[in-house]
Amino acid sequence: MLPVMLSVRGRSCLVVGGGGVALRKAESLLAEGALVTVVSPAPCPQVEALAGDGRIRLERRPYEAGEAAAYMLVFAATDDRAVNRQVFEDGQAARVWVNVADDPELCSFHVPARVRRGSLQIAVASSGEAPFATRRLRQALERRFGPEWGEWLRGAARVRDAVRGAGLPPAVQEKVFDRFFEATVDQQKLSARVPTEEEIAAWTGLDAPLVANDAPAETGEPPTTASGRDGRARVSLVGAGPGDPGLLTLRGRACLRLADAVVYDRLAAAALPSDLDGDVELHAVGKEAGNHPVPQDEINALLVRLARQGKRVVRLKGGDPFVFGRGGEEAEALAAAGIPFEVVPGVTAGVAAPAYAGIPVTHRRESVRVTLLTAHESAKEDGQQVRWDLLAADPHATLVGYMGVTSLPNVVRRLLAAGMNPSMPGAVIEQGTTSAQRVVRAPLADLAEAAAGAGINPPALFVIGPTSRHGATLDWRSGLALAGQRVVIAAPAGALGEALEASGAALVEVPLPVKPAARIVLGALPVTSCVVRSPVEVDALDGERDRPGWGRGVAAICLGAQTAARARAVGWPGVVELAENTDPVEVVSRLRGSAHAAPR
């Protein structure tokens, strides 16, 4: 079969069927701008919701012979093979392309498994012969190609625009493109980074950094027109909190609801609202230990470009924007460009992570001061900004170190050399406040070795001080029934969701159809279990299981015999069948017995 990329924007497409598979087909068409009609005598509630929102045209009736001829593209996804065959034969007669779900013989085209990173799409297909193989290959590619590739392709488009604007001859253009690719792509690791405006200017011979064609000139004045949802371009620097999405502030959530574009860090991904509108631009700018695929200067420039396009922009940052988050630098760049901005503080990990580990950072008569620092300072021999001698000599203070994994041995060495008591209590907290949180406790002299022995990885912080000793007795979280579990459930979760959260589960409520923001949230941390309440939910979530965040051992808690049967039919592992009206307490009990803590 010949692989093609088919534009369906503004074209009429038909989906025959109203269940979970049909829902997925309609969703994929809508994502590409198609005009979608769904024909089904009994559509599922999610399909009804799409119709209620005006996103699709819904005909509540059986398929009528010959009607496929009126459409450009047709999907058949009913549980009646005779109907599916009728749709296929009608399409053949009218020379209309038809795909019948899970029936390669009744297909004039196949939809490949796709990895999407912004506008970049990587397709894997087998002509319908071995879908299990393409699915697993897609899983591998999903994990190898990080979200930075979407921003990289946007950068490539800017390079192309700059080359065209510079009027370079074809031979020189190709040299610029080669230089861009060699400078930004690691072909061995399959990783990419975004070029800065200065790099693009240097490659193309421009005298000044590139300004996007759809942005006004650098005047220092705010934009005179705006397309933002509230009629005014603005950038909100929002703290997402330390990892638990419940710690995102109400003000931060309100900003996200109004956003036209969200620029988010890896550590802030879990705090995105899963039901964020599908037309909101999502820009992943990475930023994790040892990997900065989008340089800080380019993040600053991206915020300016988006605002100058008249958009309401949210810069979503882990923790608090002004606590080791470089939010001050971003605010300065916006101020220099004349872009209106606001700062929405967030809960910083230096206070929240210890609290989730049972460690109060202050305690009467024990600790009356808190020092927050970046552990990287311990590696500096000259020009240090930390007085280790003063910190070591203060027995009534709590020392909290951010980015503290690789630098912890240096910190311990400096504090001991400055005279701190080797038996001073300490702790290292990995992925604080999330379902993947781990805590290692040890006296100062043994802390680095204990963290290394436990395999602690970034992001993590350390707490050193007298109040660390309370962690063993005030650890309120690890004893909860579902502590360490991250449970997926279709929205709305209702009373069952409340019971899961009260038992310590990190709950991910996924709207159906699944929206882009929900996929980012799902991939932010490992999923341990999925609760499904209908065959429609099984089908709607089945296509998500090969994306980041899902492992092969994810348990499926199915409410109802039909739900369990559907889960087994599509190959879900670890199916646990419960009665449809099972009490939430019993669901919690079965989850505790069937699922495992998040993989480390």
Neighbours of 422 (CB within 10 A): 12
Q: Where are the alpha helices (DSSP H) in 145-249?
A: 148-166, 170-184, 197-204
HSE toward the beta carbon, residue 162, CA cutoff 13 A: 29
- Written as six digits, the tokens of 33 are 């701008």
Compute the distance between CA of residue 506 and CA of residue 184 in angstroms, rounded to an integer.
36
Contacts of 54 (CB under 8 A, 6+ apart): none
In this structure, which long-range contacts are made by residues 62-66, counting pairs with CB atoms below 8 Å and at least 24 apart in sequence?
A: 63/16, 63/39, 63/87, 65/90, 66/90, 66/94
Q: Assess whether 287 carries a catalytic annotation.
A: yes
| Spatial CA neighbour of 37 closest among 8, 74, 1, 3 | 74
Let me know if 592 is exposed, middle or buried by CB neighbors in 10 A (0-12, 13-18, 19+): middle
Rounded-to-integer distance, Cα 150 and Cα 119, Å: 6
Look up residue 334 and give its two tokens: 């916006």
Helix (H, G, I), strand (E, B) or coil at 94: helix
Catalytic residue, candidates 287, 311, 317, 515: 287
175 tagged catalytic: no
**Candidates 90, 244, 260, 265; catalytic one:** 265
CA 183/CA 259 separation, integer angstroms: 32
Distance (Å, whole) CA 521 – CA 270: 5
Q: Tell me if 442 sits within 8 A of 450, measured CB to CB.
A: yes
- If we measure between CA atoms, which residue out of 365, 358, 359, 426 comes closest to residue 392? 426
Which residue numbers are catalytic?
265, 287
